[in-house]
Amino acid sequence: MDSSVHLDNVVMNFGDFTAVQKTDLKIESGEFFSFLGPSGCGKTTILNMISGFLDPSEGDVRIGGKAMRGVPANKRPTSMIFQNLALFPLMTVAENIEFGLEVRGVSKAERKKTSDRLLELVALDGSGTKQVSELSGGQKQRIAIARALAVEPQVLLLDEPLSALDLKLRQHMRTELKDIQRKTGITFIYITHDQGEALTMSDRVGVMSAGKLQQVADPITLYREPKTEFVASFVGENNAIAGSVEGVEGSNVTVNCAGLGLLTGRGIGAISKGQSVNLFIRPELIRVGQAAEAGCDVRFEANITEINFEGSYLTLNTQMGSQSISVQIGAEQYTADLVAGAKVKLGFISQDAVVIARGENV
């Protein structure tokens, strides 16, 4: 069955304000796709256009190839899970799961079969007669998923469903959600401002800022090959080192960075001499001391301002002039000369750094 979702050149305006700029994106059948971005970037608006709570100002949403304009939410092949779950507190677990089927006139025997099957899927077999109030936060979450799946949607829409849970449970539920998605093969469209969630669960992630889809890619590509300044800074930790372009040779761009001298990285997009850019280098890709001397083609020095021991790794905060640079090293690389106040040799491989024009694509 085709359960793809095509945002076919959709735009959403509220009066003069454009909440979602023109977006053309196809989410494939059976894909786990996340929209990631800060508060107010337009994620919920996109979800609302897919679910049918809003029709786009321009363009259309196609689900399974069918145009959805004018099709009300309850007639679309979608199901939604919200942040606050909205389980019915006075019903049993099974009644909650079966509710959507009862409304559709499905027989009691069929409903029971479905709720038993779904309780097994979410690993809560035998809990059907429990009251919602007897469940833990994580169990409630799984019942909300079972209830959403009961009406056999082609597409499940998830609006920050884990944000009310504590950290440990949230991390556990990531694995569970991914597992449920694999078992059911349903298209999952997930919105979150939590990059950890988006990166761990998704086949692809669309990063949004100010109503604009900045980049769509699988998590590793997004992390390694950010296409815009926003994606480079928002996804994972990154050092942004400002400078102006000294020279361009193929994809190699040499940047004159105040206080640090000439640093080289891979240019993204069109970059020319004299342009203001940021060179982005991830903290874990910067090497220290001997390792910087031996294995790196870009080297510089900085002063350590602070060392934080984080268990399996250490974070060194360093400074050179007005530029601060964060460095992450494995605990096994720690040496006694790494102390606050000491000067340290740092380095990276030029291919590990990306150079992006400043103020573009934001």
Distance of CA 48 to the CA centre of its chain: 18
Q: How far is the CB of 279 from ligand ATP (least distance, A)?
A: 29
Q: Determine if 42 is a binding residue for ligand ATP (CB under 6 A).
A: yes
Q: Determine if 53 is a binding residue for ligand ATP (CB under 6 A).
A: no
Q: How far is the CB of 208 from ligand ATP (least distance, A)?
A: 7
Considering only residues 313 through 332, tell me which ones interact with ligand ATP, judged by CB under 6 A.
none
Residue pair 68/6 in contact (Cβ under 8 Å)? The answer is: no
- Considering only 111, 140, 193, 212, the residue that binds ligand ATP (CB under 6 A) is 193
- Considering only 37, 77, 153, 161, the residue that binds ligand ATP (CB under 6 A) is 37
* Bridge partner list, 212: 209
Residues contacting residue 71 through CB under 8 Å, at least 6 positions apart: 52
Residues contacting residue 206 through CB under 8 Å, at least 6 positions apart: 25, 33, 34, 35, 36, 213, 215, 216
Q: Determine if 206 is a binding residue for ligand ATP (CB under 6 A).
A: no
Span interacting with ligand ATP, options 11-19, 212-220, 257-265, 280-288, rule CB under 6 A: 11-19
Q: Determine if 41 is a binding residue for ligand ATP (CB under 6 A).
A: yes
* Bridge partner list, 258: none
Q: Provide DSSP, 249-285.
A: ETTEEEEEETTTEEEEEEE-S---TT-EEEEEE-GGG
Q: How far is the CB of 59 from ligand ATP (least distance, A)?
A: 16
- Considering only 3, 4, 23, 45, the residue that binds ligand ATP (CB under 6 A) is 45
Q: How far is the CB of 210 from ligand ATP (least distance, A)?
A: 9
Rounded CA separation 235/237 (Å)? 7
Q: Determine if 278 is a binding residue for ligand ATP (CB under 6 A).
A: no
Q: Determine if 14 is a binding residue for ligand ATP (CB under 6 A).
A: yes
Choose between 163 and 272: whose C-beta lies nearer to ligand ATP: 163
- Considering only 40, 137, 138, 289, the residue that binds ligand ATP (CB under 6 A) is 40
Q: Which of 291, 304, 300 is nearest to 339 (CA)?
A: 304
Count of residues near ligand ATP by CB under 6 A: 12
How many Å from the N-terminal Cα to the C-terminal Cα in the chain? Answer: 37
Q: Determine if 44 is a binding residue for ligand ATP (CB under 6 A).
A: yes
Rounded CA separation 156/1 (Å)? 15
Choose between 43 and 76: whose C-beta lies nearer to ligand ATP: 43
**Two tokens, residue 146:** 């079972």
Residues contacting residue 46 through CB under 8 Å, at least 6 positions apart: 7, 10, 12, 20, 23, 35, 191, 208
Choose between 22 and 358: whose C-beta lies nearer to ligand ATP: 22
Q: Determine if 309 is a binding residue for ligand ATP (CB under 6 A).
A: no
Residues near ligand ATP, by CB under 6 A? 14, 17, 19, 37, 39-45, 193
